[in-house]
Amino acid sequence: MSNLGYIGLGTMGGRVAKRLLAAGHSIIGYDLIKSKADWLLEADMKWGDSPREVAEKADVTFSMVTNTNAVLALTGGPDGVLAGLTPGKIYVDMSTISPAVSRDIAKQVAAKDAFMLDSPVSGSVETLEAGKLTLMVGGDEAIFEKVKPILLDIGPKATYVGANGLAVTMKIATNLSLGAQMLAFCEALLLAEKSGIKREVAAEVLLNSVIASPMLKYRGPFVLKMPDEAWFNVNMMQKDLNLALELGRQVNVPLPTTAVTNEILTAARGMGYVEEDYAVIFKVLAQMSGLEE
């Protein structure tokens, strides 16, 4: 049993916190919207009134929030995580953010004689609830080994990838493929449908073919019925693709399929689909193809 903190109790973060509670850890949590935590408080999670209080009371503090600015907000200032860290404590950020910013925060953590790991996850709500979420970790390898048993309570695989910032880099590299795969799947589906094959039949064939990655198997059916709550909306996916494109320019790696996918998501925004799961790529292409829902 460990004394943990968890900041960011949204769709994914809240479910990660629940898995840690179920594993027997004591958790103090925080979110800007306290009502998001009601179900976790009923499961015996404690509440902290600020990120600083969480970091002060926990030995290991986790965070999972939407973007770089959100991480800067929760770590900085008099009520931030940095203000609550003392020597020997560990901060693990699971957000997908700018690698450069992640490294800068790690330096600030080190100045407090504390330790930071970046540990984003690969998977979805369904993957997480099935206990199949995987993690990638950047930072001091000895600290990774110390925290690894806790990470394995979240998912079955935690891979050390190198120094601070490299795990979030790996996550960005992973996520660019998600959008590109979804775009290619939708193109294939629409080509089949407009040629006279029923959408349901085409989806069944594709999702049982060699192109069916684990991601397509759980997100592909969204083209038939979108989820009531977006697992990963257009804003979130486009944020990750923009991070990838920025990183590509920095290291001189061309990312043509990422750029095209990003433009389709911009079209989705223009069509009013910004809060929908990024599988809404299908609706965008369908309308461009002259199909009506």
Q: Are 25 and 4 in contact (CB under 8 A)?
A: yes
- Residues 16-39 as b/e (b if ≥16 CB within 10 A, e otherwise) read bbbbbbeeebbbbbbbeeeebbee
In the block, residue with structure tokens 């909306």: 233
Residue 274's SS3 state is: coil
Question: What is the number of residues in the chain?
Answer: 293
Under 8 Å between Cβ of 70 and 98: no
Give φ, ψ of 170 to 5 degrees: -60, -40
133: tokens are 């979420």
CA dihedral sign, ordered 162, 179, 182, 232: positive
Instruction: Specify whether 34 is catalytic.
Output: no
Question: Is 53:70 a contact under the CB 8 Å cutoff?
Answer: no
**E strand or H helix that includes residue 199:** helix 199-206
Q: If you ran DSSP here, which 8-state letter would residue 221 be given?
A: G
Phi, psi of 7 (to 5 degrees): -115, 125
What are 134's two structure tokens?
Answer: 């995987």
| Annotated catalytic residue, options 18, 89, 171, 239 | 171
Taking phi over 0 as left and psi of -120 to 50 as alpha, with beta for the rest, 163 belongs to: beta
The two three-digit tokens of residue 277, written as one number = 């799961």
Residues acting as catalytic residues: 171
